[in-house]
Chain A
Amino acid sequence: MIAKEIIFTTAPIVIPSLTLPSREIGACVEFQGLVREIEGNTALTGLHYEAHLPMATRHLERILDKLHTAHGCSAVTFIHRLGWVPIGEASLFLRVLAAHRGPALCFCADAIDRMKADVPIWKKIAAPSK
């Protein structure tokens, strides 16, 4: 069983303080996805995110459980921003705690890949800034 925290928020992401579930944690991998100014050839002022919340939560829980089976990590915190996110701010925060760096890094990368494939979250590209 992995300790999971899944949060969707319309407020700027505040990185939660680190709490170790056990003395066996030897790796903490954190990832932030930031909204950048250039998307393709378009200059942005930000992105708008929406999600099908109940479905997104259900599928994230399932994905994180499967990744726990594959990589054996101890805890994961997943925070995704919704609504308008200006450039330079984080739209995604992911923290994975594990005994060793290998499983934590793999878990983190796989979780993002799986989210981008199957979790119903969308970003809308804003109009170019003038």
Chain B
Amino acid sequence: MRRARKQIPSSQPAILAFAQAQDQLGFRERVVDCAAGDSPRTILANVAPGFDGAGMRVAVDHEYHDWDAPVGEAVELALIPPVSGG
């Protein structure tokens, strides 16, 4: 009996780039294809192979997220350079 293979859902989150991240990437927003098991690091490596995210944080659906944790069914992935409000 053939066992049903578990489907890994894919999604199309929007990458939002702010401040220095926007300067580096050259865009403010871009929609990308990814699988639920992809991490922000692997997604960025596909979109912008030379991107240097050193010192930046990443947020998935408005919450800070580990660069190497799966994004799941994310709608949005935001690149957060060091903040400087006030």
The answer to whether A and B come from one shared complex is yes
Q: Decide: A51 near B62, CB < 8 A? Known: A120-B78, A122-B18.
A: no
Q: Check A55–B85 contact: CB distance below 8 A.
A: no
Q: Check B83–A119 contact: CB distance below 8 A.
A: yes
Interface size class of B (residues with CB under 8 A): 10 to 19
Which of the candidate stretches A9-17, A19-27, A66-74, A110-118 sits at the interface with the other chain? A110-118
Q: Decide: A119 near B85, CB < 8 A? Known: A52-B18, A55-B78.
A: yes
Residues of B within 8 A of A52 (CB): 16, 18, 59, 62, 78, 80
Q: How far is the CB of B53 from chain A (nearest CB, A)?
A: 15
CB interface residues, A 76-130, toward B, < 8 Å:
80, 91-92, 112, 115-124
Q: Check A117–B83 contact: CB distance below 8 A.
A: yes
Expressed in whole angstroms, the Cα–Cα distance for A31 and B67 within the complex equals 35
User: Nearest A residue to B21 by beta-carbon distance?
Assistant: A122
Q: How far is the CB of A94 from chain B (nearest CB, A)?
A: 9
A-B pairs with CB below 8 Å: how many?
Answer: 53
User: Nearest A residue to B19 by beta-carbon distance?
Assistant: A122
Expressed in whole angstroms, the Cα–Cα distance for A92 and B86 within the complex equals 6
Expressed in whole angstroms, the Cα–Cα distance for A119 and B85 within the complex equals 7
Expressed in whole angstroms, the Cα–Cα distance for A124 and B19 within the complex equals 8
Interface size class of A (residues with CB under 8 A): 20 to 34
Q: Check B86–A116 contact: CB distance below 8 A.
A: yes
Expressed in whole angstroms, the Cα–Cα distance for A123 and B81 within the complex equals 11
Residues of A within 8 A of B18 (CB): 50, 52, 120, 122
Q: Check B80–A121 contact: CB distance below 8 A.
A: no
- Determine if B84 is an interface residue (Cβ-Cβ < 8 Å): yes
Residues of B within 8 A of A122 (CB): 18-19, 81, 83-85
Expressed in whole angstroms, the Cα–Cα distance for A52 and B83 within the complex equals 11
CB interface residues, B 47-78, toward A, < 8 Å:
59, 62, 64, 78
| Chain B residues within CB distance 8 Å of chain A | 16, 18-19, 59, 62, 64, 78, 80-81, 83-86
Top-7 shortest CB links A-B: A121-B85, A122-B19, A55-B62, A33-B86, A123-B84, A92-B86, A115-B85
